Structure 1
Amino acid sequence: MTERSESDWQELTAEGRRILWGVARNGKLIDYGEFNDQLAEATGLLSFDLSTDRGRADISNLLVRIHNLDWDESKPYMLTSLVKLSGGNHPGRGFFTLASSKGLYAPDVPEDAFWSDQVRRAHEAHRRVRPVRG
């Protein structure tokens, strides 16, 4: 188990946000394992041990930090929607818990519809605008 300093958390948050901006620009999704590997490579910090409850809780905490850093009321989308479970096409439960706690998600809305909308919004917000050639 690795205890992280606040400066490590800040570095992971900033780098995680940068990684997710790139994922959004490319119109993609990233799974937790790939996100974890890219974070470790970019920061030089130890990766989260996703085989443990603690490691999964820590990466979830990081995604909350990224959301809080990235959130902008004028552009209401969740950048963290781009992180999905490995081997599937769905986010972790923490995504919906966070969205609900922020008043963004109501349980009467189908999860897949809400998630798809958030992914679409994240992709649109970061889409590269290419100049029109004339």
Structure 2
Amino acid sequence: MHGRDEREWEKMIAAGREILVARAVLDRTTSYGEFAAALIRRTGCARFDFASGNGRASMAYLLERISEAAYAESGERLLGAVVRHPGVEDGGPWFCRMAVAKGFLVPRTRGGRQLFWAAHVRELHEHYAGRRRRSAG
């Protein structure tokens, strides 16, 4: 499993979920690099090598696992979508694959996919906005 054992994945899933919920509560997104750095600081796990195909695939795998674990609590949205692909402002290929697997109708054009991702992120932010209001009050 991408050079990590299940115990390490579980640790990263739990920490990653907390990081991404916090970003959603704050009405923010994060880049792959920012997310990976925060995750490594929090868990002490080995870093992701985004220069390699395996490194990118392992991050996609992690975001899929986080999204699956948080699916019900996130209003049946993919929590990993708050991690944006730099330069193109979308969730990356894993997001479209998982969205299709969950039954979402994903547009075929690049622009359509970007708009679909942006709407998905907005819905996550709206879903988690209640936590922001409760913590401020």
Normalising by the smaller structure, the TM-score range is: 0.7 to 0.9
Q: Which letter does structure 1 place at the counterpart of 2:121? A: V
Q: Which letter does structure 2 place at the counterpart of 1:46? A: A
Specify every segment of 5 or more residues in structure 1 that has no aligned partner in the other structure, as ranges.
Answer: none
* Structure 1 position 117, deviation (Å): 1.4
Specify every segment of 5 or more residues in structure 2 that has no aligned partner in the other structure, as ranges.
Answer: none
Q: Which letter does structure 2 place at the counterpart of 1:48? A: F
Q: In the alignment, what sits opposite 1:33?
A: 33
CA contact (8 A) 2:84 2:90 kept: yes
Q: Which letter does structure 1 place at the counterpart of 2:124? A: A
Mark the structure with the bigger radius of gyration.
1
Counterparts of residues 1-134 of structure 1 (less than 5 Å)? 3-72=3-72, 75-107=75-107, 110-127=112-129, 128-129=132-133, 130-131=136-137
Q: Which letter does structure 1 place at the counterpart of 2:85? A: L
CA contact (8 A) 1:11 1:43 kept: yes
CA contact (8 A) 1:81 1:119 kept: yes
Normalising to structure 2: TM-score of the pair? 0.86
> Deviation per CA, 1:44-87, whole angstroms, max 9, x where unpaired?
11111111000000000001100110011882222111111124
What is the number of equivalent residue pairs in this alignment?
130
Gap change, CA 1:73 and 1:5, over 3 Å in 2: closer
Name the structure with the higher helix share.
2
